[in-house]
Structure 1
Amino acid sequence: MRSGGQVNRFEPRVEVAVARTRAEVARLHKMLVRGGLVSWTSGVLSARVPDSELFVIKPGGLDHNELSPEKMVLVDLDGRVVTGTPGSELPPSRGVAVHAHLYRSSDRIGAVVHTHSPYATAFALRGEPVPCISTGVADEFGGDVPVVAYVGPDDRVGDAIARTLTASEATAVLVERHGPYTVGADARSAVRAAVLLEEAARAVQLARAGLPEGSALTALEPDEIHAIRERRLRADAERAAESAAADSYPTSRPGAARPSGGTGSRTTPIPSTVPDNDVRTTQ
């Protein structure tokens, strides 16, 4: 239910989902700080509350050190604060309309990250895509990270980002004169994309600096990119299937155990290159 009015109580399953989403968003914001992607009050992560028309977003104007689950702001898919809930006395981040537009545009988007990480933002300021010159970029993004023209108000920016994401099936875009946005099926995958985008942009800048005058970096061939990306998507699908099978395996009977390959989570695991306790510094 979309509502900007007073809410006294959700269904128990929604209350649990909201609490979990608040905790996840607060925790992963700290990882953005540790990864060097945000500073002071800049940058924002939001995440959709599963099986609802709600999402949780960072409040505006608070230092990242002040963030906690109860200070996260719960809003509906029109970007309106759900009053009477923890954090509702705080304003949501200024970009809430962009986030709301992206959630309305596609059910596959479960989380959105916006940062001003220096290397990716440098590409955005130049209006230049991050080129797919490495297997890592091909694996994570499936090609060049595209540029979206800056078109003014948040609702128009959100529409431009959504159209680009839909057309390219990308998980990251660079908004010209502004900075990067990444999306994912869940908060961890959106943060992962933000971290790897900054690493990719930094690697390109460093590689260019070491080139002989007049030389240029060579992009991967489209067939190579496609093969690498397809291999990654197949691996993700296999992990998701194993996880779902483990969740559905009957454990109520005596002696029953989960299959050894499962994780017990319905969320596609994030590859171990960016574990929860080790976001790599990009500066």
Structure 2
Amino acid sequence: MTKSLLEKQIELSNMVIEAGKFLIKNNLVARTWGNISCRLPLSNNFIITPSGKAYENLQPEDLCLLNADCKSLEFLNCKVLKPSSEKKLHSIIYQKRSDINFIIHTHQPFASAMSLAGEASSGYPTAKYALPGTDELANYVGNKIATDTDVILMHGHGTVILGNDYRSAMELSMKLERECRAAFLADYLPTGITDGSIDFSTEQIHVSKDKWIKVKSPIVDLFSKQLLPAYIDDFSQIFGSEVEIDNSSFYFSNTDIEEIQAAALVVYKNCLGAVVAQQSGEMPISIEDCNLMHNKYINSYSKEMLSD
């Protein structure tokens, strides 16, 4: 029996929601960073995650339906929410690649770090850096789209992963992280650190009474007694241009456990990126860009989370 348009929209929406939960579970994103979309059959219209909504709590009616011009369409008879700021990036890909029906934008640790290595070292096409959510970034990614490319690294930012369907995109995200981890081990593993000790786990996090967050990781410990600059832009959103690392610890005033875990993951990921960047000669994100992202995060994005 042929499914109605409404039934198909709900089915695809549930796939997007499940993808978000998968990304969170596997540390491929933190909080609501990243975004996910799914093309509607026989069109360039697509369903995309909203801005500032926790993946774990999404319902089909929370998602946004956009056309190729990124204009919001009526969806499930619900009020229109604010779509992801990276919507143009998704639209460009769907228009360029008729074979792609599912897109995920992740901030996975090793792939994000290897975005700073250059294409020759990472083995993947890498889009130039631009501020998140900008047309400039969407166009840089669009310039890297090719018929034989289903993975694009975004310099100092994350990844874009393309799939014919939900399953192929999820499998590719895990394959990419394994391959980038292996590349990091082969080319960038610091002396004295073993491959069995470099992965992140929430069990490594210890919160002191004075709001210092310790991450028991040798990668983070590399930067003890230093000001760690921003190499990855979700780090700069939370911390600005730098954060002090002391005995594998950093100060974080928010006491919410999910916020603490996200901050710890982002610090760890930025340390991975710093290792790659310092060996490959990449500079940190500019202080001006860091301040722009941090102020926007404080004044708008984090408020969206609080109001959720």
TM-score by length of 2: 0.56
Amino acid at match of 2:185: L
Distance 1:178 1:130 in 2: 18
Residue equivalent to 2:150: 171
Separation in structure 2 between the aligned mates of residue 49 and residue 159 of structure 1, nearest angstrom: 23
> How far does residue 34 in structure 1 lie from its aligned partner after superposition?
1.3
Deviation at 1:104, TM superposition (A): 1.4
CA 1:127–1:35 in 2, change beyond 3 Å: closer, same or farther? same
What is the aligned counterpart of 2:138 among 141, 153, 158?
A: 158
Stretch of structure 1 that moved more, 187-196 or 152-161: 152-161
Deviations 1:212-268 (A, max 9, x none): 89xxxxxxxxxxxxxxxxxxxxxxxxxxxxxxxxxxxxxxxxxxxxxxxxxxxxxxx
Aligned to 1:22: 13
Q: Which has the higher mean CA deviation after the structures are superposed, 144-153 or 174-183?
A: 144-153
63, 83, 108: which one aligns with 2:74: 83
> Which whole-Å deviations, capped at 9, do the CAs of 1:41-75 have from their partners, x for residues lacking one?
11111110112332111111011221122212111
User: Is the 1:59–1:93 contact (alpha carbons within 8 Å) kept by the matching residues of 2?
Assistant: yes
Change (3 A) 1:98 1:73: same
- Kindly provide the CA deviation profile for residues 82-109 of structure 1, in whole angstroms up to 9, marking residues without a partner as x: 1353554321111111111111122112
* Alignment match of 2:160 (pick from 175, 181, 188): 181
The amino acid that maps onto 1:32 is: L
Q: What is the DSSP-based 3-state SS (H/G/I as helix, E as strand, rest coil) of the residue aligned with 1:165? A: coil
Task: For 1:169 and 1:86, locate their aligned partners in 2 and report how far apart those are by CA, in whole Å.
Answer: 38
- Partner of residue 74 from structure 1, selected from 37, 49, 65: 65
Structure-1-length-normalised TM-score: 0.60
- Identical amino acids, percent of aligned pairs: 26
Q: 2:225 is matched with which residue?
A: none
Alignment of 1:1-20 (within 5 A): 13-20=4-11
Please say if 1:97 is aligned against 2:76: no
Residues 1:53 and 2:32 are matched in the alignment: no
Q: 1:114 Cα shift?
A: 0.7
Aligned counterparts of 1:199 and 1:163: Cα–Cα separation in 2: 26
Is the CA contact 2:20–2:56 (under 8 Å) kept in the aligned structure 1? no
Which residue pairs with 1:193 in the alignment? 172
Written as runs of structure 1 = structure 2, the 5 A alignment for 1:222-237 is none
Q: Which runs of 5+ in 2 are unaligned?
A: 193-308
Q: What is the count of residue pairs matched by the alignment? A: 192
Q: RMSD in angstroms over aligned alpha carbons?
A: 2.8
Contact 1:37 1:115 in 2 (8 A): yes
Tell whether the 8 Å contact from 1:82 to 1:88 is kept in structure 2 after alignment: no
Give the gaps of 5 or more residues in structure 1: 1-10, 133-143, 214-283
